[in-house]
Structure 1
Amino acid sequence: MWRSAGALIGASIAAFVLAACTGGVPPLPPAQADAARSEREKQAFVGALKPHRAGRPVVAVLALNEGTEMTDLLLPHAVLERADVAEVRIVAPRSGRVSLYPALEVDGAQDFASFDRSNPSGADYVIVPAMIADDNPAVAAWLKQQAARGTRVIGVCSGARVVGRAGLLDGRRFAGHWYDRGTLLKRHAGATYVPHQRYVMDRGVATTTGITASVPAMLALVEAIGGQEKAKALAAELGVASWTPAHDSSPFHLDTGRRVDFLLNKAALWRGERWRVDVQDGADDIALALAVDAWTRTGHVSVDAASASGPVRLRSGLVLLAHPPREGASRLPLSSSLRPVPQLDRTLCEIGERYGASRRDWVMQEMEYPGPVAACTG
């Protein structure tokens, strides 16, 4: 009884925080479809990301060792490594391990000082994921220094909050996760929120909407560096038809029903299940990240990486820390025959079947993913 009461109190607080963090910003009107305009905006974004220097570009994926959003880090790193258009490094205050949330842990980050010695002119691009703390002084100082050297900065999802802490959103147009809109407008003088676009660029600083926007944004970066055919081939491999910024922001907001659903779901968190995802060398980083992220965000599941041989090297070359499988742990369903984005679609359908449509809707809200819900009807 006491456990249930404690869970309800915690859920009430969490729901209040959720409501407060949106800053009372009202829902947006639906987007007006305009394919020609979206294509022009994509081309402008791609043009703004064209390399400024000769030679193979250097991309730093910024991380906070204590906690960096899993898909925000793994997906850009994996997409760019797969495209083979740049030298890609994960860079953090300390070398070594990076804890990811809502699950998993990787090894192989380069520390700031080492990266700076190797790249005294700065990176060509810095990709900024969401972090468990958006105001880390070392991260903010390093990012500000990179921007001063002419580096293009790309804030993915709530990475926009980290970009802002480095002083790079004041007076700029931005996208960002729907949940952060009110916070970012309050924090940054003269900043302008741009609705209905998956990614936005303003004077060397790009921002994207939620977690899944890293797919079209990274394909646009691949097109900028390696050309349209390279991006098209990679999009087909990922299961993506288009990478324009077209996006309807209107479905993404907190209404009364979602707040109540969140409250009831959090009240049941003490019944959470411990799952494992079996991994091996060469595992697809992108499919893994999207599926694990989605299941963990149901609030009912925590996920550990399992391998009898210990740490594994993912397809991108990044080392994922893994441990021997726990006896009796349920396996996270992951299909080797599905491309990464269709894998996410399948995962969302499975979440709906297991926990109901409202829970699937909540996960899609967190990931800011419209998703082909009709695909679940078969």
Structure 2
Amino acid sequence: MTMRYLLWGIIMLMLLCFAGFGGWLLSLPTGAPASEAPQVPQAERQAMLEALRPPEGRRPVVAVIGINDATETTDYLVPTGILRRADVADVLLVSTDPGPVRLYPALQVEADQTMATFDAEHPDGADYVIVPAMSRDDDPQVLGWLRAQAGRGARIIAVCAGAKALGATGLLDNRRATTHWYYLRDLLQRSPGINYVPDRRMVSDGAVTTTTGISASMPMMLTLIEAIAGRQKAEEVATGLGVPSWDARHLSAAFGITRRFAATVLANRLAFWDSEEFVLQIKDGVDEVSLALAADAWSRTYRSSVEIQSVSGEAVVSANGIRILPDPDRAHEGQDLPSVEGPPARVLDQTLEDIASRYGRPTAHVVAMQLEYPWAKGGP
């Protein structure tokens, strides 16, 4: 008798939970408003370029900082790959400690230097510091290092939720800023002095620049290249990336938790028995930007994960000198994904189409929403 009452109690509790979730789901908007991103005044665009101009008379030094145990894949690799292919600055992957840098949701790489080594070799500091999203926004090593770099005159660029770490340093206080839509409320609660600017993929205020979600690293780096080396150089790099334009236009209202988004995530999570593991086979010379975007996207479906393997079984050196470490060999248990050849922006679009073909367009929409990527075919 006691067991029967216990089972009924569990069932009733589950029903109440589902009822509560259903009410929350119905309270969500059905989709984003049908409108276009507002134009950005030319004066605002020019002011951003001026804020990002490098010191004259020397080649700029760019440090891309990350913590070893969990730094966002695209935020860490895309800025490095784009700036290195442009060859307009010395670009260094920097880590808090020695050893590999584990990226999320996929990939593992070797940094060029630790913060201590960088400081010893560049006592005057970096000209630019790029701050990706990291699993911990309060790492004391990172916060202290960012304050020190800013004190030496570095321009700080926070990509995506990297703004939360920057906010924790106090460097965003009383400044205009933006961040990934999902972390905006948290950022403003922690740093209430920030003046949030909607409808911009990137915002500069003095020596500090912030961006919206993960995919904003592409237009942000093209803007930085334009500030350093001019419009023509930026156009050359953009052509190679497959990016037709890179201004700050953005429709913030198009990104958020909608009813379709939440229902798709729930359905994909409940289908855990049908989850898949894919293998990406890479070799020396792989385009690190395309690789990061594809691996990131496939890892955000709530249906699949990505394992990285190299043809040789050893570390792979990417097209722009990033050492990528393969995951432990599991005898290729997963299915092979197509190679990531081609301009990175087109690789991302094709990856979203492949995800849509395999899991349905709502899942591809969920991925694009997480990347804060204005995917034309992603629907509302």
Question: How does the TM-score come out when normalised to structure 1?
Answer: 0.88
Structure 1 pair 92/33, CA: closer, same or farther in 2 (3 Å)? closer
Structure 1 pair 308/251, CA: closer, same or farther in 2 (3 Å)? same
Residues 182-222 of structure 1: per-residue CA shift (max 9 Å, x gap): 11111113211111111001121100000000000000001
1:352 maps onto 2:356 in alignment: yes
Corresponding position of 1:326:
331
Corresponding position of 1:97:
100
Please show how residues 225-374 of structure 1 align to structure 2 within 5 Å. Answer: 225-309=228-312, 310-322=314-326, 326-336=331-341, 338-373=342-377
State the AA in 2 paired with 1:372: A
Residues 254-296 of structure 1: per-residue CA shift (max 9 Å, x gap): 1233222222222223432121101000000111111111111
1:209 maps onto 2:212 in alignment: yes
Match of 2:123 among 113, 120, 124: 120
User: Following the alignment from structure 2 to structure 1, what is the Cα–Cα distance between the partners of residues 32 and 169?
Assistant: 28
Alpha-carbon shift at residue 374 of structure 1 (Å)? 7.7
Corresponding position of 2:61:
58
Structure 1 pair 88/311, CA: closer, same or farther in 2 (3 Å)? same
CA contact 1:282–1:314 (8 Å) conserved in 2: yes
Query: Per the alignment, in what secondary structure is the counterpart of residue 373 of structure 1?
Result: coil
Query: Per the alignment, in what secondary structure is the counterpart of residue 91 of structure 1?
Result: strand
Alpha-carbon shift at residue 328 of structure 1 (Å)? 4.5
Alpha-carbon shift at residue 125 of structure 1 (Å)? 0.3
Structure 1 pair 326/188, CA: closer, same or farther in 2 (3 Å)? same
Alpha-carbon shift at residue 31 of structure 1 (Å)? 6.3
1:72 maps onto 2:79 in alignment: no
User: Following the alignment from structure 1 to structure 2, what is the Cα–Cα distance between the partners of residues 183 and 154?
Assistant: 19
Gaps of 5+ in 1: none
Structure 1 pair 335/289, CA: closer, same or farther in 2 (3 Å)? closer
Query: What is the aligned-residue RMSD (CA, Å)?
Result: 2.5
Alpha-carbon shift at residue 28 of structure 1 (Å)? 8.7
Alpha-carbon shift at residue 54 of structure 1 (Å)? 2.5
Alpha-carbon shift at residue 230 of structure 1 (Å)? 0.6
Larger Rg, first or second structure (1 or 2):
2
Please show how residues 154-165 of structure 1 align to structure 2 within 5 Å. Answer: 154-165=157-168
CA contact 1:197–1:246 (8 Å) conserved in 2: yes
User: Following the alignment from structure 2 to structure 1, what is the Cα–Cα distance between the partners of residues 125 and 285?
Assistant: 31
Gaps of 5+ in 2: 1-9
User: Following the alignment from structure 2 to structure 1, what is the Cα–Cα distance between the partners of residues 42 and 371?
Assistant: 24
Structure 1 pair 34/189, CA: closer, same or farther in 2 (3 Å)? closer
User: Following the alignment from structure 2 to structure 1, what is the Cα–Cα distance between the partners of residues 261 and 180?
Assistant: 17
User: Following the alignment from structure 2 to structure 1, what is the Cα–Cα distance between the partners of residues 334 and 184?
Assistant: 39
Alpha-carbon shift at residue 83 of structure 1 (Å)? 0.4
User: Equivalent pairs: percent with the same residue?
Assistant: 44
CA contact 2:294–2:340 (8 Å) conserved in 1: no
User: Following the alignment from structure 1 to structure 2, what is the Cα–Cα distance between the partners of residues 202 and 260?
Assistant: 38
CA contact 1:123–1:151 (8 Å) conserved in 2: yes
User: Following the alignment from structure 2 to structure 1, what is the Cα–Cα distance between the partners of residues 189 and 70?
Assistant: 25
Corresponding position of 2:149:
146
Alpha-carbon shift at residue 43 of structure 1 (Å)? 2.2
Structure 1 range deviating more: 91-100 or 202-211: 91-100
Alpha-carbon shift at residue 70 of structure 1 (Å)? 0.4
CA contact 1:96–1:110 (8 Å) conserved in 2: no
Question: How does the TM-score come out when normalised to structure 2?
Answer: 0.88
Residues 140-193 of structure 1: per-residue CA shift (max 9 Å, x gap): 111111111111000000111111111111111111000111111111132111
CA contact 2:260–2:362 (8 Å) conserved in 1: no
Residues 305-343 of structure 1: per-residue CA shift (max 9 Å, x gap): 11132111001101000255734421122342x311011
Alpha-carbon shift at residue 38 of structure 1 (Å)? 4.6
1:188 maps onto 2:194 in alignment: no
User: Following the alignment from structure 1 to structure 2, what is the Cα–Cα distance between the partners of residues 113 and 253?
Assistant: 39
User: Following the alignment from structure 1 to structure 2, what is the Cα–Cα distance between the partners of residues 362 and 374?
Assistant: 9
